[in-house]
Amino acid sequence: MPFNPDAPLLPDTGEPGFGIYVHWPFCAAKCPYCDFNSHVRHQPVDQPRFTAAFLREMATMRQMSGPKTVTSIFLGGGTPSLMEPGTVAAVLDGIARYWHVPDGIEITMEANPSSVEAERFRGYRAAGVNRVSLGVQALNDADLKFLGRLHDVTDALKAVRLAREIFPRMSFDLIYARPGQTVEAWEAELEQAISYAVDHLSLYQLTIEEGTPFYGLHKAGKLVVPDGDQSANLYEATQEITARHGLPAYEVSNHARPGAESRHNLTYWRYGDYAGIGPGAHGRLTRGAAKIGTATERRPETWLELVEQQGHGLVDQEDLGRDEQADELLLMGLRLTEGVDLARWQQLSGRDPDPAREETLLEHGFIERLGNSRLRCTPKGMLILDAVVADLAC
């Protein structure tokens, strides 16, 4: 193994960093709320063939990125915990072959509780994974069934205990603003989640995405989600409880004990570079003064054939202009409680924030300055984040 999987985690430098994202597109079942690039296959996936394709696409991405030091790796999906430990090991070894991977970087793998086994978890750990993110989503069986999950609460808690035992760092996801959910019920569920000694929680409001089964039900009036006021109440309760228990929000939907923030996701939100590998993966790569947005073919088998024919599955390479980069920096950075580096935004955009617009947002308490160097949303502004970003980007 080219890196030490037991090395202590490197400190967060506050820099954007360079991440590698690898997308495993397969799931055991498709959840009715999910619009991610995930696919169910009723025959076993040819993992050695996909592994070889991942490695070939890495070679192309390495040519595009040039030599880089990796600061985080993320195995997402889909359900990456459907991969064999040997597949994970081969992928991580490949990344270390093409880029410099120091000891002690964060290597995250997403896992579903229904696909968790202790032996597989230990295999992933031996391969180099040092952080696992569990898709728990709810802590009662009725809502898990409603969300289309294959696990129950017993499975979820078993997975949490195993993850805590085997991996140095662990996070899990919950979805709130579910139909009929009261603030009191969510507060109790969130208190229960925190009691499992987690150091990171991703807490997402249920959103109705076009093209999903939930979208059709919602449009037909058969699925009613909390209205804007109730959603705001649920969000505010989330902030209060997590902060009280020492897991304050560091991003709109992510909460962590100090030092346990997701390094890989910080790369996205700080607008760093990352190589996206696998079906439907996106990336951002800087070459000289230019930044390129990349996207690969979404359909797994089509992606596989493209990689085998031409060495990559890229279907889009977009040169991002400075205005586009400045807008993306603002969009991503204002999600963070640390806010946006104004000097970097000004360098990209070639201008200062519009004084009148900024003053209006300041007066209404939606944004605030951190000295002269950073701009961030207030908790009040986070509730209308999209509007704040749109106003500042004009």
Per residue, the 3-state secondary structure of 282-350, as one string, reads: EEEEEECCEEEEEEECCCHHHHHHHHHHHCCCEEEEEEECHHHHHHHHHHHHCCECCCEEHHHHHHHHC
Neighbours of 239 (CB within 10 A): 16
Q: Which residue stretches of the chain are H helix?
A: 47-65, 85-98, 118-127, 141-146, 153-166, 183-194, 213-219, 228-244, 263-269, 300-310, 322-333, 342-349, 355-363, 379-382, 385-393
> How would you classify the pairing of strands 374-377 and 340-341?
antiparallel
Neighbours of 315 (CB within 10 A): 14
% pLDDT > 90, the chain: 72
User: 262 falls in which pLDDT band (50, 70, 90)?
Assistant: very high
What pLDDT is stored for residue 116 in this prediction? Answer: 72
Task: Report whether 112 contacts 81 (CB < 8 A).
Answer: yes
Distance CA 45, CA 257 (A): 38
Give, as one character, the DSSP assignment of residue 100: B
User: 1 falls in which pLDDT band (50, 70, 90)?
Assistant: low
What does the domain layout of the chain look like in residue ranges?
Answer: 18-268, 341-393
Mean pLDDT, range 218-230, rounded to an integer: 88
Residue 18 pLDDT > 70: yes
Distance CA 64, CA 73 (A): 18
Neighbours of 229 (CB within 10 A): 8
pTM of the model: 0.95
What pLDDT is stored for residue 208 in this prediction? Answer: 86
User: 286 falls in which pLDDT band (50, 70, 90)?
Assistant: very high
What pLDDT is stored for residue 141 in this prediction? Answer: 95
Q: What does the pLDDT look like over 314-324, one tens digit per residue?
A: 999 999 999 89
- pLDDT top residue among 383 and 62: 62
List CB contacts of 90: < 8 A, sequence separation 6 or more: 51, 55
User: CA 214, 215, 218 angle in degrees (round to 5)?
Assistant: 80
Best CA proximity match to 169, nearest among 338, 339, 12: 12
% pLDDT > 70, the chain: 99
Top-tier CATH class for 18-268: alpha beta
Give, as one character, the DSSP assignment of residue 37: S
Task: Report whether 201 contacts 171 (CB < 8 A).
Answer: yes
User: CA 43, 314, 94 angle in degrees (round to 5)?
Assistant: 70
Neighbours of 112 (CB within 10 A): 26
What pLDDT is stored for residue 222 in this prediction? Answer: 87
Residue 183 pLDDT > 70: yes
Residue 328 pLDDT > 80: yes
Mean pLDDT, range 207-235, rounded to an integer: 89
What pLDDT is stored for residue 245 in this prediction? Answer: 96
Task: Report whether 206 contacts 177 (CB < 8 A).
Answer: yes
Average pLDDT score over the chain? 93
Distance CA 23, CA 77 (A): 5
What pLDDT is stored for residue 119 in this prediction? Answer: 84
**3-state DSSP assignment of residue 109:** strand
Task: Report whether 305 contacts 336 (CB < 8 A).
Answer: no
Task: Report whether 171 contacts 134 (CB < 8 A).
Answer: yes
